[in-house]
Amino acid sequence: MKELEERIRRDGIVKPGNVLKVDAFLNHQCDVKLFDQMGREWARLFAGKQIDKILTIEASGIGIACVAARHFGDVPVVFAKKAQSINLDGDQYVTKVYSFTKQREFPVIVSKRFLNPGEHVLLIDDFLANGKAMEGLIELCHEAGVVVEGIGIAIEKGFQDGGAKLREAGYDLQSLAIVDSMNPDTGAITFREA
Amino acid sequence: MKELEERIRRDGIVKPGNVLKVDAFLNHQCDVKLFDQMGREWARLFAGKQIDKILTIEASGIGIACVAARHFGDVPVVFAKKAQSINLDGDQYVTKVYSFTKQREFPVIVSKRFLNPGEHVLLIDDFLANGKAMEGLIELCHEAGVVVEGIGIAIEKGFQDGGAKLREAGYDLQSLAIVDSMNPDTGAITFREA
């Protein structure tokens, strides 16, 4: 998606260790107009699919998913939680994933009430790198008996293996920008051709 | 706001210990059409004010704020983070608040780049009870030299003192539903008259 690639080039910051900072518009400060364009693009890419619900994971996925849902007939957005709370009770689907960004393992939790067997779900997140968070969401979906219709990612790090694994497993993965390489010395970013 | 009050009566669950669970539509599963109505209502309530940016706090505020921002001319939404990460670097505004829900103290962090002196900010969150999280955001705003134009809350627990303190301090606080009492035995909820 041209608008997203241009924005990454303009406001993204390449850091050593394969870190791409996009906190100016994606995951700390949010450009909701861009989110709306992203939602429209996913609606085009997943056109014809039955999407009953969008599932994402806190925190950065939430804003993107909620704005995008407006392009999917205002379907409910469920966000998986990464910590227990006294407000979370009753039956839950729970798994654990390791975050390289946070450098620790954390739980991924969804109340069973919000994933109903037979529902068709679109998974959305801001980043895909090694795919651990997405694997966690998919595991919960399988446990719940919901159908994963597709996966919408804003920025995929194409030089890590999360995307390849999901595509090989047969998922309809639509990443709006795929970074194939980036250079922390020059700041240069190479995107995969669509 | 009638739509929100009706939704709380229909899908909210009153639990012992003054807990109101609204995870079916507000803070675990999200009704984005309702969020849109809430955004429209805040735009009406804060009409005529200069709003350059919306500031909220992860995680439950993000979806509400991002959908609401569409009614404020697509202003940027900044969400304060509750944990350090390797993606957070550089100068930050940081304070600490105690969460009764999570039963622990956590940091409230905003990169200095995203709060610019002189900006006019609208604060948005899903809940207001004792007001600790909101006080944390206000503290960061003062430190940053931004003007707090108003505070938009979805559900205020009117029987706790957060709202009264903020109004006494002169803030333009607009809560879309104010719960004055709730009964865990009967499930009855009394809303404050507008």
Question: For domain A38-179, is the CATH number 3.40.50.2020?
Answer: yes
Task: Check residue B163 and report its DSSP letter.
Answer: H
* Mean pLDDT confidence for A7-35: 96
| Whether A160 contacts A129, CB under 8 Å | yes
Choose the weakest-confidence range: A10-19, A34-43, A148-157, B99-108. B99-108
* Mean pLDDT confidence for A78-105: 85
Q: Where are the beta strands (DSSP E) in chain B?
A: 13-15, 19-21, 29-30, 53-57, 77-80, 92-99, 104-111, 120-128, 147-157, 173-182, 189-191
- Residue A18 annotated as lining a ligand binding site: no
Q: What is the pLDDT of residues B115-171, one digit of tens each?
A: 999 999 999 999 999 999 999 999 999 999 999 999 999 999 999 999 999 999 999
pLDDT per residue as tens, chain B (194 positions) = 999 999 999 999 999 999 999 999 999 999 999 999 999 999 999 999 999 999 999 999 999 999 999 999 999 999 999 987 766 667 999 999 998 777 889 999 999 999 999 999 999 999 999 999 999 999 999 999 999 999 999 999 999 999 999 999 999 999 999 999 999 999 999 999 87
Inform me whether the pLDDT recorded for A116 exceeds 90.
yes
Residues of B in contact with A31 (CB under 8 A): 74, 76
CA distance A179 to A21: 13
Using CB atoms, pick whichever of A23, A30, A87 lies closest to residue B87: A23
What is the per-residue pLDDT for B86?
63
A59, B59: Cβ pair inside 8 Å?
yes
Residues 132-191 of A with CB under 8 A from B: none
What is the per-residue pLDDT for A150?
98
The single residue listed with the structure tokens 């469920």 is: A78
| In chain A, % of residues over pLDDT 90 | 92
Residues in chain B: 194
Q: Where are the beta strands (DSSP E) in chain A?
A: 13-15, 19-21, 29-30, 53-57, 77-80, 92-99, 104-111, 120-128, 147-157, 173-182, 189-191
Parallel, antiparallel, or unpaired for β A173-182 and A147-157?
parallel
| Whether A35 contacts B120, CB under 8 Å | no
| Whether A18 contacts A118, CB under 8 Å | no
The single residue listed with the structure tokens 């939704």 is: B7
Using CB atoms, pick whichever of B30, B83, B110 lies closest to residue A66: B30
Give the residue from A140, A110, A159, A75 showing the smallest Cα distance to A175: A159
A30, B111: Cβ pair inside 8 Å?
no
Using CB atoms, pick whichever of B32, B58, B101 lies closest to residue A77: B32
CA distance B42 to B45: 5
Q: Does A86 touch chain B (CB under 8 A)?
A: yes
Residues 22-81 of B with CB under 8 A from A: 23-24, 27-33, 35-36, 58-59, 62-67, 69-70, 74-79, 81
Residues of B in contact with A62 (CB under 8 A): 30, 59, 62-63, 66
Q: Where are the beta strands (DSSP E) in B71-172?
A: 77-80, 92-99, 104-111, 120-128, 147-157
CA distance B188 to B20: 11
Task: Check residue A189 and report its DSSP letter.
Answer: E
What is the per-residue pLDDT for A99?
85
What is the per-residue pLDDT for B61?
97
Residues of A in contact with B31 (CB under 8 A): 74, 76
Q: How many residue pairs from chains A and B have C-beta atoms closer than 8 A?
A: 128
Residue A182 pairs in a beta bridge with A189
What is the per-residue pLDDT for A190?
97
- Residue A26 annotated as lining a ligand binding site: no
CA distance B123 to A33: 19
In B92-154, which residue ranges form alpha helices assigned H by DSSP?
132-144
* Mean pLDDT confidence for A98-125: 93
Closest residue, chain A, to B99 (C-alpha): A85
Hey, what's the torsion of the CAs at B185, B34, B125, B10, to 10 degrees?
A: 0
Per-domain boundaries in chain A: 38-179
The residues near B78 (Cβ < 8 Å, ≥ 6 apart) are A28, A29, A30, B53, B54, B55, B56, B110, B114, B115
Closest residue, chain B, to A109 (C-alpha): B28
Using CB atoms, pick whichever of B28, B65, B103 lies closest to residue A78: B28
pLDDT band at A86 (very low <50, low <70, confident <90, very high): low
Residue A108 pairs in a beta bridge with A95
What is the per-residue pLDDT for A76?
98
Residues of B in contact with A58 (CB under 8 A): 58-59
- Least Cα separation, residue B26 to chain A (angstroms): 10
CA distance B138 to B128: 13
- Residue B20 annotated as lining a ligand binding site: yes
- Residue A27 annotated as lining a ligand binding site: yes
What is the per-residue pLDDT for A88?
62
Hey, what's the torsion of the CAs at A69, A113, A129, A157, to 10 degrees?
A: -10
The single residue listed with the structure tokens 């002169």 is: B170
- Residue B129 annotated as lining a ligand binding site: yes
| Whether B150 contacts B171, CB under 8 Å | yes
- Residue A4 annotated as lining a ligand binding site: no
Closest residue, chain A, to B113 (C-alpha): A24
Type of residue found at A166: L
Type of residue found at A141: C
CA distance B58 to B76: 15
State the fold for domain B37-179. Rossmann fold (3.40.50)
- Residue B73 annotated as lining a ligand binding site: no
Residue A142 pairs in a beta bridge with none
